[in-house]
Structure 1
Amino acid sequence: MKFNSKCWFTGTSYCVYILATSEFKIELLAVVPYLSITEALDAAKDIFAENAKRFYKINVAVKSFDSKNVISPNFVKIETNTPQRDVVLVRLVWVDASGQHRCRVIPEKRFKDSVKKNGVGLTVACMAMSSATDGPAVGTNLSAVGEIRLIPDLSTKCRIPWATQEEMVLADMYLKPGEAWEYCPKEALRRVSKVLKDEFNLVMNAGFEIEFFLLKSVLREGKEEWVPFDTTPYCSTSSFDAASPLLHEVVAALESLNITVEQLHAESGKGQFELALGYTECTVAANNLIFTREVIRAVARKYGLLATFVPK
């Protein structure tokens, strides 16, 4: 790195120096829009200090900027050849009537010995819970009385990319062996697909455009608030640069699940992105939608962000 200027400010007990470079300005301007004021100041101090170390050949460590929860604008390589460890837990996943993803988690041995065939019991009230309360919504006629069986759909069983000692599998809902529950979403889609095929010789394919917001936590007057990750416009290259490491991991995780991503870009909302999946047979597409949302939320948490799919 070349140093273009050097300024000294001296005093009786200390000496302060500033080393300014064109490269420093470029690097700092590239990351400042995505940092808090405190983080930006710490980053500037580190860059100045590192430049001084190199210029004066000072052998000291510089550690003031904590970047563990900040997404770097540089690409983060994802290791794809990491050996997989033995599965310890299996998540039995379902989606309720309000769109909430829920799961029961079973030790892998019990899953193989029993749950794989017999499933687990679940109160019927779980299908009627709203997104606001853990209780059945008024008017659903579903209560804590009565149970169904969550039976794993083994065709959907897969290793979880962000938790390599776990697997997840989507669940069908049965009243008893061979009798699907009328409120089972997967069964409802299968029934409609069968009607289209049997009566009209049609096969329904589907592809989803998944829009989501990335929010970051900030403190305002001592209170935590979740604010948009950035404020850039539609299809902004800067926005994609800022979230690039996260999005790379999302795409890699989806590829490991054999889910095709056709394209992705920054949307018009603040901190909003869109990811378009390839189209496929509708029951498979619905499964892919569930897994994709799981991936996006999990990877966002890894970067200290909150991913939400609520409308803007």
Structure 2
Amino acid sequence: MSKSGASHPEDASLDPEESRDEGQHPKGEKDILSAAFSLFLCFCLLFLFSLTLKARISAYDGTSHQEAIIKAQKAQGFLANRKLGTELQGIETPHFIIFSDFSSQERKKQAETAEVLYHSFDNVFKITANRDKMWDGKCVLYLFTRKEDFLKFAKRYDYYDASQSGGYFRIEQGQVRVVLYHPPPGHPRSIEETLVHETAHVFLHFYRKVVAIPKWLDEGLAEYFRFEYNPKSPEKKHYMSVISSKVKKRDNRSAKKMMTRTNPSGPDDIEGYATAWSMVEFLLTYNKHRFVHFVKLVKEGMGQEEALRKSYGGWNYRKFEAAWRDYVTKEYT
């Protein structure tokens, strides 16, 4: 029998409809290849997702990808100029990127002020020595000479009505920006003091763990660093006078009230701000290391009175207030 007429088992098993040209694959083989390709795509997507997640976590830990973040941050101010018609100029320091439309001399002063604050906070909390996690990239500051530009930026970028504010900060995916404008003539604070106050909030927010912070502690520490920057501030003298008078008349807000309620209650609550600052100043003056321990415990979720007990040798609200009142009587008169 000729070779061409020979019967082949593999030929007999083929259905005419399943016949194929060279290079085609049978249906079962197609299914296998399709499944394999789908698995390969899934693996690729999972791999890319893991890289993205790793980049996000690493960046927030301050260990990698910071250069890319900083590069993107540097472009933000110039994009704002295009969108808002502003004339921001950039200046970079070791820990900040500052966009400001002030004069070059004023921009230099603002940059120096930001770094002074960083080192003041570091002096208390030892964030450099302890390699504490802070923000990603650098802290970005926007400083405007005109309130109109400040309001436009707040509305366009942060959907925020800043008409009742002299400054604010926003946190997004581990990064932060602080936005301020020049106070009007006659205002008791310079823009540098406002910069210190608002940025101190950012430092405390990021320190160790991002959690809700008691209002008195948040505002008190911000004012503490503001007066460290400008010890001759007329507001400091006014605060001392207010608290001294209240303590002398035994009409001051109690430590328990300050710590368990919203104090200060608002921007016009002078007594609340003065008391918060005075209590923070006292705790730091009494023992800086104990104050840092107190803040760490509060950030970890411990109640404030228990944190006082563990940090200040058994103090409860009453003992703390008694010691603070003695301090005010001796130091503010």
Greater fraction strand: 1
Q: Is the shorter-chain TM-score for this pair beyond 0.5, marking a shared fold?
A: no
TM-score bucket of the superposed structures, by smaller chain: under 0.3
Which protein, 1 or 2, shows the higher relative CO under an 8 Å CA cutoff with sep ≥ 6? 1
Q: Which has the larger radius of gyration?
A: 2
